[in-house]
A and B are shown apart, each in its own frame.
Chain A
């Protein structure tokens, strides 16, 4: 919007300048064109150039008017007015993550095991973890139900955990969707929930 007004203002200024120069009796006489190039309009080279600029600006303005409204890449004024503060947003996110984690914990508790899959999945994760030989990390717990796995890893330091996240997720060797979360009560404890089948995992909100 601002650029559009800028174009309009600049265009209007240029029109005024052209009108002024075009009527200036002291304006220098343009050189005579030696070829069949379009005959310059009265007013000299400077005016001609200005008018060309104005024509360009008019085209730009017209193009701006015809431009399709783009989908919002930034919040609209209304959204900004309604948007919570960064602190509120952080608090809302944390609350949402807490609810999500609680729901997944309940799902793990309620879901029965699958004798044909659960033990093998757990062993696969344990083996991959042992093979990776993570320094400063310990696989505390892995529990796979018939629908999803809950993996709990404790790191010596949170920094090691941030660096080791990729490696922990690499222990899951099947197509999956899931979430990872640092336990609120212990920032060195990482809890990962991974679905057995990607299609069965809900929208992770």
Chain B
């Protein structure tokens, strides 16, 4: 019962996507060290990624390459979440070139999740305008009492 309305939408959207020309796939992987802190905060950049060394949550903005006339087929972000009472959540945006949000996909590592091993967040396919842009925004909680840092190790986007 719950999926019926969405199935209708799916059908409409599938018909719309069929009209777009097929393109080759591109996978672009970036180090989390490309991420910038939003506002006046600063991130700790390492070769293995960007991390939050402060006590407060920081919003990371991670730029992504978008090719002309491409859509996001799949995307992942590899994050490190050391907090047991907060999560690393990331939202992948598809924007027009004017900066208007078209579509988004949000994934979190889970509040209860905490591990020194990175977690992989997998995003949904997102459509884009021809000259639109993609951006990954992650909210990274502050360090733990033991000075363990959370952050973004890397992110990859496959376009088609």
Binding site for B on A (CB under 8 A): 71-75, 79, 89, 93, 96-97, 99-100, 103-104, 106-108, 110-112, 114, 145-148, 162, 165-166, 169-170, 172, 174-180, 182, 195-196, 198, 200-205
Contact = CB atoms under 8 A, between A and B. Distances in A.
A107 B9 CA distance: 7
A99 B67 contact: no
A200 B5 CA distance: 10
| Secondary structure of the B contact surface, majority rule | mixed
Contacts of B104: 169, 177-180
Contacts of B102: 97, 179-180, 204
A147 B105 contact: no
A71 B59 CA distance: 34
A112 B24 CA distance: 40
Contacts, number: 128
A148 B59 CA distance: 26
Contacts of B68: 73-75
26 contacts: A73-B68, A75-B69, A89-B129, A93-B129, A96-B16, A103-B12, A110-B4, A111-B2, A114-B2, A146-B1, A147-B2, A165-B101, A166-B59, A169-B106, A176-B105, A179-B102, A179-B104, A180-B102, A180-B104, A196-B2, A200-B2, A200-B3, A200-B6, A203-B17, A204-B124, A205-B16
